[in-house]
Amino acid sequence: MKKLICIVLAAVALAAAPAANAQLRFGAKLGANFSNLSWDNAKSLDFKGTSLANFTGGLTAEWIFIAGFGVDASVMYTAKGTKYEIGDNVMGDAFESLFGTKEAVTNTIHYIEVPINLKYKLQIPVVEDIVIPFIYAGPSFAFKVGESIKGLGETVQNAGNIIKNKGFDVAINLGIGVEIIKHVDLAVQYGWGLGTASEIGFGDVVNFSKAKTGAWTITLGYMF
């Protein structure tokens, strides 16, 4: 974690002292993500999660400081989670008792997420006024601001007795996109969660499984 933070700070410092022809722009973007939680021992516990589709949106800034290389950073609202499918076991019995079902339980975690990416824009002189492809990669830091755990479509107030969502998560994002007519950005990325985002267990005593996030995200942005 310390090495990752040092790399991020170094990238930001490099962007803060740009060359004379550097470009600094701001914008906004909206999109959708398709996320799931990957559990460490789901097979042995006979359960799985299926993807959920959620909204994402926020503000972004881009520094391109030399030969198409630069940094972008955003502050985004995003939601990630999963829909559980539980087998006939002690955990399934607990889910049915609390949620009224073993298969229609959804867990949505709401975040304010701060991705910071290294970015490269392939500027081709003949077409760069129309289209510029780009790639990017970097960490994102997600801070939980809420959660919604539902069984049969109804919010369950004491779901934290079984499902425990963590307050902070870190992921690594890798994405590609295209800039259209200098202002419109269309991008798709995948984010690999590095830490534990959620746990399943009974109270504070037994933790059956821990999960990391994984999410595909599609965004459409406008840069000023």
Q: Where are the domains of the chain?
A: 2-223
The pLDDT assigned to 115 comes to 98
Decide which of 177 and 102 is more confident.
177
The pLDDT assigned to 18 comes to 47
Domain 2-223 maps to which CATH number in 3.30.360.10, 3.20.20.70, 2.40.160.20, 3.40.50.300?
Answer: 2.40.160.20
- Name the helix (H) or strand (E) containing 23: strand 23-39
- Average pLDDT taken over every residue of the chain: 86
Enter the tokens of residue 28: 């906004």
**19-46 mean pLDDT:** 81
pLDDT in tens, 93-128: 888 888 888 778 899 999 999 999 999 999 998 999
Output the CA angle 35-37-43, nearest 5 degrees: 135
User: Given 3-state DSSP classes, what are the helix, strand and coil percentages for the chain, each rounded to the nearest 5?
Assistant: 15, 65, 20
Predicted TM-score of the model (pTM): 0.85
CA dist., res. 146 & res. 203, Å (int): 20
